[in-house]
Structure 1
Amino acid sequence: MTSMLQTSFMQESTRMAREHGPVFKREFFNLEFTFVTGAELVGELSDDRRFEKHVLPALEVARPAIGDGLLTAYNHEPNWRKAHDLLMPAFSQSAMRMYHPLMLDVCRQLIEAWDRAAGHESVHVTDSMAKLTLEVIGRTGFGYSFGSFERATTHPFVVALEDVLNHGQRLVTRPPMAGGFLGKRAAERNEENIAYLNGIVDEVMANRVGGDHGNDLLGLMLDSDVLDPVNVRNQVLTFLAAGHETTSAAMSFTLYYLAADPEIMDRARTEVDSVIGDAEPTFEQVAKLRYLRRAIDESLRLWPTAPGYSRVAKEDTVLGGKYEMPAGEPFFVLLPALHRDWVWGDEPERFDPDRFLPEQVRSRPGHAFKPFGTGIRACIGRQFALHQIALVMSRILQRYNATLPADYRLRASEGLTFSPIGLTLDLTPR
């Protein structure tokens, strides 16, 4: 899935941050951003007593499809807190242990597909990771398989979801569509896509009615009378939309950085061989892959999967003692710039997993690293994502030697997420 606009506005803004930060304004089409890029100011913005989440226009336009789901709900809407409190147990350590075998099963499907390519053709990394993460969230969260690795083409659900998100992005970054056939047809197609998405999720929900609801995300919601059926559907669509694309991008960037530096890849592989050996990893073993986890964090530092998040003041205030912040006016935390702030040293573009050694982490401000947002509205699935990424990376390191094409240079698309453009790997079995 590649919901994106062909722009590099956030990347351009990141390059400008060293000169213009820690607070500066830029316009993008009909939007204005007040960027915040300094670790100390971001730490202040993280205070939930003074500030709260702002639903960006790029998220607002997704509300016709996912309504008041966790990602797009306004702070005054009650369902986000109800859903958050209800679903927290689904992301506990015991729940992660339950999801682990399902994640392993999807990893087997990836390996079967990559084994067929190894040694004679390149694998398309981002496409493969998107298939994997869609299957993982579908099966662990809702007991539904999209059959991604059995299909020659993208599942119609993913196509429809991508079309809906792209339609929204076009609306928010351009003047309202002119009348006439093309604008009307785009709106009609969007409505058709939303109806199709709703129908698929309603079918999945209907299959659970009257039986054992299970103890996954959907089961928790159906067993409770806290959320109405429409909001349950919104939450399912939210996890499918946000949960698989972000994680697949994080995996893709991590694979790029491992393949780009053979010394780092060898160090990560040595750890995997030492902790796990040849067998499939257990839940406990994944947690012991500390160097690999540092490499994942370093990849998320350089390429957080989302460009940032927005905060508003609950009352008129002054940020950092000098930047007036009227109540309700959004300030956008530009994550790639925050993650390259001066607190990261003189070479912030260099990939170095040891930045995340415990003593290095303790030496930096606590809010210098925010790939999953902040506060109570931060990503609820972050531990799920991190376990999945480490598990998949460990299986790939066990199985293959992976190299980049000689002429590949990393470029990233951007929209709701960042993602590497055209990333392929050449594989040889170990």
Structure 2
Amino acid sequence: MKTPQRGWMRNSAMSTYAKIPTPSGRLALKALQTIVRTRSPLPALEVFHGELGKVFRANLPSFKPIMTAGAEWARWLLVEARESFLWKAPKDPIARLLRDGLLVADGETHDVMRRLMNPALHRSALTGYVEAMWRATDRIADQWQPDQTYDMLTEVRKIALLIVMETLFSVDFMPQIERYWSAILHMLRYISPGIWIFWADVPRPNYRRALRRIDEYLHQIIRLRRQNLAQTGGQPNDLLGILVSAEGVSDDMVRDQMLTMIIAGHDTSTGLLSWAMYLIGAHPEAACRIRDEVDAVLGDSPPTMEHLAHLKYLDRFIDETLRLYPPAHLGSRIAAQDLTHDGYLIRKGERVTYSIYVTHRMAEYWRNPAEFEPDRFLEKPVPYSFLPFGGGPRNCIGAAFAQVEAKVILARLAQRFTFTLLQHDVHMHMAVTLEPRPGVFMRVKRR
């Protein structure tokens, strides 16, 4: 047996390892009752961690990951031991779909692609995207009829799709959005939690047509861009241009990165923005503070990067939304070798997760953790207790993009509309990201 690495052992003299706790039948029943009451598995994780501590092993058929929570475990996984874990679990649907996409790639493939893609997503590039962001918001919002009801989960998804396609690929997706809407939703369901967790090779033929349609569309965009650059000799001015102009980057590799950015660049934003709209409706005092701040800073002008720096309360509101409802609520890694940490042995090949959701709601780090209090972010959180975009060297490459995008969209909507939440009874649904279900139904009124 390979000797476990001892660099992260708290006691190098240990010759035995503590058994990772597993839930008892009584605790499992308590968790099940919580799931029934809240209509979501996430509060059940709080039940498990509340009784078992910051690490336990799930005991489900064919699925027995090590589940962790808390800043210390997150720091270990994301920073201290990061080289000893793999991101890609080859049989997971997201790995099958994205192949060598940045989100799941390991080693040199990841490092090379991240260096190549970083300029298009660096904070210095974002100023050039702000106008496209508020114009996309207007294009969808202009379709809203006064005093009518709309599901903001659907509406902000449309906005996020237009933005990612326009800013990163210079594609006007508005004429295509209806044509590909169903295929996009099928693709997201394909990688959402499901029976595949327990049966990795479960046949899923219903998704093939949708995935093929998305692939054909992306390859068409790639071909047209290559032709355009060849004919004009122009310089790449967006992420797609950078990718197709890079030496040795195949069409398949470009496709993998495009699909990664479409999923990561629109679905996480959809989760954040839909929960933000829910909280705006559920907390009228917060909506008033946002509106007053936007009016004072923007007046009648569209948002600019200079304006965004002065929207301090909106910043805190977005952070509190991300704390309560982190779109990426769980991180998952595969141990590349035997490891030890905190007195526990982790075997090569075992899945280790860290719960961003639970960490964001731990009383150890947050005062009144279940309460909506944006002003808590007047103080800086404990390191690695706030992880909406991951942490360490492999934090989300689009973190700055997502934060600017959310501020632009919410500021523009606050500038133009007031919203009334019609259905307060929503629950957390674990899709690709954390979504409010059955939706965020709001009556829209122009200001």
User: How does the TM-score come out when normalised to structure 1?
Assistant: 0.86
| 2:121 equivalent among 64, 67, 91 | 91
Query: Are the structure 2 counterparts of residues 316 and 10 from structure 1 closer, same or farther at C-alpha, using a change threshold of 3 Å?
Result: same
Q: Find the counterpart in structure 2 of residue 140 from structure 1.
A: 167
More moved, 241-250 vs 337-346: 337-346
CA distance in 2, matches of 1:8, 1:395: 32
- Report the alpha carbon displacement of residue 159 of structure 1 after superposing the two structures with TM: 2.3
Any idea what the Cα deviations from partners look like across 1:165-204, whole Å, max 9, x if unmatched?
43455452343677xxxx5xx43x5343333222111111
Contact 1:45 1:51 in 2 (8 A): no
CA distance in 2, matches of 1:229, 1:388: 28
Query: Are the structure 2 counterparts of residues 176 and 281 from structure 1 closer, same or farther at C-alpha, using a change threshold of 3 Å?
Result: closer
CA distance in 2, matches of 1:167, 1:315: 30
Any idea what the Cα deviations from partners look like across 1:87-131, whole Å, max 9, x if unmatched?
1111123310111111121011122023x2x32x21110000000
- Report the alpha carbon displacement of residue 242 of structure 1 after superposing the two structures with TM: 2.1
CA distance in 2, matches of 1:29, 1:144: 44
Letter in 1 for 2:310: K
Matches within 5 A, 1:4-403: 8-51=40-83, 53-55=85-87, 57=89, 60-73=92-105, 75-76=106-107, 78-114=108-144, 116=145, 118-119=146-147, 121-147=148-174, 155-169=178-192, 170=194, 172-175=196-199, 183=203, 186-187=204-205, 189-209=206-226, 210=230, 211=232, 212=234, 214-312=236-334, 315-319=337-341, 321-357=342-378, 360-361=379-380, 364-403=381-420
How many residues were matched structurally?
A: 403
Other structure's SS at 1:426 match: strand
Query: Are the structure 2 counterparts of residues 102 and 159 from structure 1 closer, same or farther at C-alpha, using a change threshold of 3 Å?
Result: same
CA distance in 2, matches of 1:111, 1:162: 21
Other structure's SS at 1:343 match: coil
CA distance in 2, matches of 1:37, 1:413: 20
- Report the alpha carbon displacement of residue 312 of structure 1 after superposing the two structures with TM: 4.7
Unaligned runs of 5+ in 2: 1-38
User: How does the TM-score come out when normalised to structure 2?
Assistant: 0.83
Query: Are the structure 2 counterparts of residues 86 and 41 from structure 1 closer, same or farther at C-alpha, using a change threshold of 3 Å?
Result: same
Unaligned runs of 5+ in 1: 1-6
- Report the alpha carbon displacement of residue 136 of structure 1 after superposing the two structures with TM: 0.4
Larger Cα-atom Rg? 2
CA distance in 2, matches of 1:157, 1:64: 21
Using the aligned pairs only, state the percent identity: 27
Other structure's SS at 2:65 match: strand
More moved, 155-164 vs 343-352: 155-164
Other structure's SS at 1:309 match: strand
CA distance in 1, matches of 2:173, 2:161: 8
CA distance in 2, matches of 1:79, 1:172: 26
- Report the alpha carbon displacement of residue 294 of structure 1 after superposing the two structures with TM: 0.8
Other structure's SS at 1:86 match: helix
Other structure's SS at 1:18 match: helix
